Amino acid sequence: MPTWFQKAVNNGLLALVADGVHKLNPRTERRAPERMEEGQLYTIHGVYRGGFEVPLLFAVTRNKSEDDYVTIFGKMKEAVQAVPSDTPNTEPQLRIVVDFKMAAINAARAVFPLSSTEGCAWHLTQAWVRNRNRLGLLRFLKGGERDPRVVHWGKTLKGLPFLPRDHFHLVNALTVVPVEHSHPAYEPCQNFLDYFNRTWMRGPFESMWCKYLVKELRTTNLAENFHGRLRGLFSGKKHPKFDELITMLQEITAAAASRMNRMVE
Residue among 45, 47, 46, 27 nearest 36 (CA): 27
Note the pLDDT of residue 131: 97
Q: Rounded mean pLDDT of 189-218?
A: 95
In a domain, 209, yes or no: no
Same domain, yes or no: 195 and 251: no
Contact call for residues 59 and 74 (beta carbons, < 8 A): no
In a domain, 252, yes or no: yes
Same domain, yes or no: 109 and 131: no
Note the pLDDT of residue 31: 61
Same domain, yes or no: 137 and 189: yes
Same domain, yes or no: 110 and 154: no
Contact call for residues 84 and 6 (beta carbons, < 8 A): yes
Element (H, E) at 210: none
Same domain, yes or no: 10 and 78: yes
pLDDT at residue 233 is higher than 60 = yes
Contact call for residues 44 and 21 (beta carbons, < 8 A): no
In a domain, 213, yes or no: no
What is the domain count for the chain?
Answer: 2
Q: Rounded mean pLDDT of 94-108?
A: 97
Same domain, yes or no: 134 and 88: no
- Helical residues (DSSP H) of 98-166, grouped into ranges: 102-111, 121-134, 148-158
Q: How far is residue 221 from each of residues 97, 115, 218, 224, measured CA to CA in Å? A: 10, 20, 9, 5
What gap in Å lies between CA 95 and CA 70, rounded to an integer? Answer: 17
Same domain, yes or no: 105 and 232: yes
What gap in Å lies between CA 81 and CA 89, rounded to an integer? Answer: 5
In a domain, 182, yes or no: yes
Contact call for residues 222 and 43 (beta carbons, < 8 A): no
pLDDT tens, residue by residue, 57-80? 999 998 899 999 999 999 999 999
Q: Rounded mean pLDDT of 127-150?
A: 97
Q: How far is residue 94 from each of residues 25, 78, 117, measured CA to CA in Å? A: 28, 14, 8
Note the pLDDT of residue 29: 65
Same domain, yes or no: 107 and 77: yes
Domain boundary (201, 227, 249) is at 201
In a domain, 208, yes or no: no
Q: Name the residue range of residue 7's domain.
A: 3-120+219-264
Same domain, yes or no: 37 and 116: yes
What gap in Å lies between CA 77 and CA 67, rounded to an integer? Answer: 15
Q: Which of 30-44, 85-99, 126-140, 218-232 has the lowest mean pLDDT?
A: 30-44
What gap in Å lies between CA 119 and CA 206, rounded to an integer? Answer: 10
3-state secondary structure of 49: helix
In a domain, 110, yes or no: yes
In a domain, 192, yes or no: yes
In a domain, 206, yes or no: no
What gap in Å lies between CA 102 and CA 196, rounded to an integer? Answer: 17
Q: What is the CATH number of the domain that holds 230?
A: 3.30.420.10
Same domain, yes or no: 30 and 74: yes
Note the pLDDT of residue 208: 96
What gap in Å lies between CA 226 and CA 127, rounded to an integer? Answer: 22
pLDDT at residue 12 is higher than 90 = no
Note the pLDDT of residue 78: 93
Contact call for residues 256 and 49 (beta carbons, < 8 A): no
Same domain, yes or no: 37 and 94: yes
Residue among 178, 57, 128, 86 nearest 119 (CA): 128
pTM of this structure: 0.89
What gap in Å lies between CA 200 and CA 192, rounded to an integer? Answer: 11
Q: Which residues face 53 on adjacent strands?
A: 47
Domain boundary (167, 201, 235) is at 201
pLDDT tens, residue by residue, 28-67? 766 655 666 678 999 999 998 877 888 999 999 988 999 9
Contact call for residues 142 and 118 (beta carbons, < 8 A): no
How big is the chain by its Cα radius of gyration, in Å? Answer: 22
Q: Which residues contact 228 (CB under 8 A, 6 or more apart)?
A: none
Contact call for residues 205 and 178 (beta carbons, < 8 A): no
Same domain, yes or no: 157 and 187: yes
